[in-house]
A and B are shown apart, each in its own frame.
Chain A
């Protein structure tokens, strides 16, 4: 058996090699000034962040910043949980808005809070390691969402809201002369589009993600949790059977049942609906403002015009406002002052007016600081690309109530998963919305109760 003998020889060599690799890894882990930044992007946004990190490293070689990308917020959330359990969390973590309460409650093995408030760590300084502090300049929508108990605890980075994208070329063909603004207007427009001779199979799509129904609830002025959506005190009770939520679910089901709505079939699938829109399989798309640049670009490639407008609302009830979405950068505790300043400096650098403006142009996320907005205005960006202003304008319409600010909940990620599962069941297996959401209410309530039991709510 010559072959096997060769395999074994090769293996022995490999084993040695592996040993060497493992040892060398130990060595560079020793570089304790390294700032690990974990973010939930693996696409061009990761490349953008890595490019900024390289620039930062050139300016501050003493604080090497290393960016790691994760597939989604949910995966990153798990990875951070795992790293916390292991006791080696990164220095900076991108947590999405739904994980805000979890981040506030997170503790390490000794029961100490895992994150420190960015505002407190900055402690009124105007610049850190020569990077001007921009936290105080953050736009109100983000500031309100992330300010909890008077503390602006994390550094906003990517902030978006839900927008509405229309295939203008298709609309013209169907003689729809105005982009629909309400649910009823969507139905009317879709009726016309689906009657076209070469009509697409479906008319509208959006991801089955908890964020969209939450937006719809907020628009109608509804709450999803008690204690003012968890902003006046820790939320104790979920409300998944509210009229506002059921209105949306019933509307979605109606659209699905009559073939108007295209469901990609996967929960939390941002790509499926976007691809359907790009392939002109649907004429309307509701999704994050963070994809605006990409979607308008896909329209150009596919030879159709894309109109960007406000997220449609229920015209039967007064409009309260739309929520932000996106994520903030959290600062882990116990880094030591020097390293912590390095981390803070990177956060400020990443969001300085020039970078924030560039981030906005690259992605479509709103200009996170007023200075970045002013810079873009000055460059004439919005005159050239008026659609890029829609998100900022939509957020400015919010009436400032807890409904429009958004909920703060523990275990929000799992609770959202209950919601998306319920919606999928209503659509795909034809479950009755009221019955199914009564069950969802129970499941979600159990998660919140368990969470509060653990974290001493």
Chain B
């Protein structure tokens, strides 16, 4: 920071004007799609077809079509529940796996570890058609279980906590054992309180992952009752007669509010999480 201050003082002020202008232009371009979407969400089809830059008066109508008639609230609720479950599940399974990998010694630990590691090279997407049949056979398709259970654990979560625990002082567990704590007590009293940072980071990343998940719900959910918002938006493409742009844009905006808020509010844990998974 000190260096920054010095440079500011030394440099003539006019040089930063260029930077400001460039940055403002870039920000404007990057924000344009959403600004346009805000505009479009207030207009009906004939206003959009005749192109005008002033807001229309259909904001309420479009919202009502999307929220009430097309059940966007239900898709949003489903998405929220699904994302929260996935994020929580990964945090819990990850903590447990981290505990096992770091504080236990057992024969074949490397083999187990490599088996977990290899799954990093096996994205769900490459076997998604088979996964669909399997989830079907287990009777879980088209349900909350089918949407969440396959994602309740991941190599990333296990590594994140393994790495985090490995970096904690080694004498922690020894001290705990001297106090007569069993592993679960150790986990509860020592590890978890020391892991809020990492847990929060993982939670943010996985919540965004869950909220933005598209392909799997597209394949595995067929009814509208359990559908999530990313797929449910498709039903807004024809919410009136012919293509309906206003409601579609409205839906896209409403569906983007939660992840953007979560992301902006929790940027720091998000970065921490990625930084941690990176040097696994």
* Bound CA–CA A275/B245 (angstroms): 11
Given A82-B142, A83-B142: A43 and B87 interface contact (C-beta under 8 Å): no
Distance in angstroms between the alpha carbons of A86 and B138 in the assembled complex: 9
CA distance A150 to B70 in the complex (A): 41
A86 to B222, CA, bound (A): 11
- B residues 68-107 with Cβ under 8 Å of A? 69-70, 80-81, 84-85, 87-88, 91
Interface size (A, Cβ < 8 Å)? 43
A1 to B192, CA, bound (A): 12
Residues of A within 8 A of B84 (CB): 11, 14-15, 18
A258-301, CB < 8 A from B: 271-272, 274-275, 278-279, 291, 294, 297-298, 301
Contacts of B124 in A (CB 8 A): none
User: Is A4 a contact of B199 with CB atoms below 8 Å?
Assistant: yes
Q: Do A3 and B200 touch (CB < 8 A)?
A: yes
Asked whether B190 is an interface residue with its Cβ less than 8 Å from the other chain, the reply is no
Whether A125 is near chain B, meaning CB under 8 Å from some CB there, is: no
In the complex, whether A197 has a CB less than 8 A from a CB of chain B is no
Q: Is the CB of A7 within 8 A of B203?
A: yes
Residues of chain A within 8 A of B238, CB atoms compared:
42-43, 71, 271
Residues of A contacting B213 with CB < 8 Å?
none
Which B residues are in CB contact (< 8 Å) with A4? 196-197, 199-201, 203, 269
Per-residue contact bits, chain B 141-158, to A (CB 8 Å; 1 contact, 0 not): 111110000000000000
Cα separation A85 to B136 with both chains bound (whole Å)? 7
A68 touches B223 (CB 8 A): yes
Alpha-carbon gap, A128 to B9, bound state (A): 90
Please, how many angstroms separate the alpha-carbon atoms of A7 and B266 in the complex?
10
Contact: B85 with A15, CB < 8 Å? yes
Size of chain B's interface in residues, with CB distance under 8 A? 46
Residue-wise, chain A 338-376 has the 8 Å CB interface mask toward B (1 for contact) of 000000000000000000000000000000000000000
Is the Cβ of A302 less than 8 Å from the Cβ of B142?
no
Q: Does A12 contact B (CB under 8 A)?
A: yes
* Contacting pair B203 A8 (CB below 8 A): yes
Provide the residues of chain A in CB contact with B223, threshold 8 Å: 38, 68, 79
Question: How many residue pairs at the A-B interface have CB separations less than 8 Å?
Answer: 117
User: Whole-angstrom distance between the alpha carbons of A18 and B87 in the complex?
Assistant: 13
Using known A-B contacts A275-B243, A279-B49, A294-B242, determine if residue A12 contacts B88 with beta carbons closer than 8 Å.
yes
Whether the pair B49, A17 counts as a contact (CB closer than 8 A) is no
Option from B80, B87, B143, B222 in Cβ contact (under 8 Å) with A79: B222
Q: Which residues of B in the span 127-178 have a Cβ within 8 Å of any Cβ on A?
A: 132-133, 136, 139, 141-145
What distance in Å separates the Cβ of A44 from its nearest Cβ neighbour in chain B? 7
Residues A275 and B49 in contact, CB atoms below 8 Å apart: yes
In the complex, are the beta carbons of B46 and A18 less than 8 A apart?
A: no
Rounded to whole Å, the gap between the CB of A308 and the closest CB of chain B is 16
Inter-subunit contact B240/A44 (CB<8 Å): yes
- Closest A residue to B140 by CB, please name it: A86
Any chain B CB within 8 A of the CB of A232?
Answer: no
Which residues on A sit within 8 Å (CB–CB) of B203?
4, 7-8, 11
| Interface pair B266/A3, CB less than 8 Å apart | yes
Cβ–Cβ contact A69 & B222, under 8 A: no
Q: A294, B239: Cβ atoms under 8 Å? A: no
Residues in A75-117 with C-beta less than 8 Å from chain B: 78-80, 82-83, 85-86, 88
Structural contact, B87 and A71, CB atoms closer than 8 A: no
Q: Are B239 and A43 in contact (CB under 8 A)?
A: yes
Determine whether the beta carbon of A278 is less than 8 Å from that of B242: yes
Instruction: Select from chain B the residue with minimum beta-carbon distance to A81.
Output: B222
Name B222's contact: one of A5, A22, A82 (CB within 8 Å): A82
Q: Does residue A129 face the partner (Cβ distance < 8 Å to B)?
A: no
Contacts of B200 in A (CB 8 A): 1, 3-5, 7-8
Is A47 an interface position by the 8 A CB rule?
A: yes
Residue pair A8, B199 in contact (C-beta under 8 Å)? yes
Q: Is B142 within 8 A of A271, CB to CB?
A: no
A21 at the interface (CB under 8 A from B): yes
- Checking A42, A298, A302 against B235 with a beta-carbon cut-off of 8 angstroms, the contacting residue is A42
Partner among B145, B219, B220, B242 whose Cβ is within 8 Å of the Cβ of A22: B145
Bound complex: CA of A88 vs CA of B221, how far in Å?
13
B241 within 8 A of A: yes
A18-B84, A275-B243 known; A71 vs B234 contact (CB < 8 Å) = yes
With contacts A4-B269, A18-B85 taken as known, whether A294 is within 8 angstroms of B241 at the C-beta atoms is: yes
Is there a chain A Cβ closer than 8 Å to B224's Cβ?
yes
- B237 interfacial by beta-carbon distance below 8 Å: yes
Residue with the greatest number of chain A CB neighbours at <10 A, chosen from B139, B201, B235 = B235
> Whole-angstrom distance between the alpha carbons of A69 and B203 in the complex?
34
Given known A-B contacts A4-B199, A18-B81, A69-B224, A85 and B242 have beta carbons under 8 A apart: no
* CB–CB B242/A18 < 8 A: no
Chain B residues 184-226 with CB under 8 Å of chain A are 196-197, 199-201, 203-204, 219-220, 222-225
Cβ A1 vs Cβ B197 within 8 A: yes
B201 contacts across to A, CB distance below 8 A: 4
Q: Tell me, in angstroms, the Cα distance from A201 to B54 when the chains sit together.
A: 26
CB distance from B42 to the nearest CB of A (A): 19
Q: Smallest Cβ distance from B134 to chain A, in angstroms?
A: 11
Contact status A274-B139, CB under 8 Å: no
Query: Once the chains are docked, how many angstroms separate the CA of A4 from the CA of B220?
Result: 31
Q: When the two chains form their complex, are residues B49 and A86 in contact, meaning their CB atoms are under 8 A apart?
A: no
Q: From B243, which residue of chain A is reached at the shortest CB distance? A: A271
The A-contacting residues of B in range 32-90, CB under 8 angstroms, are: 45-46, 49, 69-70, 80-81, 84-85, 87-88
A43 x B240 contact (CB < 8 A): yes
- Nearest residue (CB) in B for A12 is B88
In the bound complex, residues from chain B placing their C-beta under 8 Å from that of A297 are: 241
* Nearest CB in chain A: distance from B173 CB, A: 22
**Contact present for B239 and A278 (CB under 8 Å):** no
The docked-state distance in angstroms from the alpha carbon of A329 to that of B81 is 34
Mind listing 24 A-B residue pairs with CB under 8 Å?
Answer: A3-B200, A4-B200, A4-B269, A5-B200, A7-B200, A8-B91, A11-B84, A14-B80, A18-B84, A25-B143, A25-B144, A44-B240, A47-B69, A68-B223, A71-B235, A71-B237, A71-B238, A78-B222, A82-B141, A85-B133, A275-B45, A278-B45, A278-B49, A301-B46
Question: What are the 10 closest A-B residue pairs judged by CB atoms, nearest first?
Answer: A4-B200, A79-B222, A271-B243, A1-B196, A294-B241, A14-B84, A18-B81, A42-B235, A279-B49, A4-B196
Sample of 12 further A-B pairs with CB below 8 A, known A8-B199, A43-B241: A3-B265, A7-B203, A8-B91, A11-B203, A14-B88, A18-B81, A47-B69, A68-B224, A71-B234, A272-B243, A294-B242, A298-B242
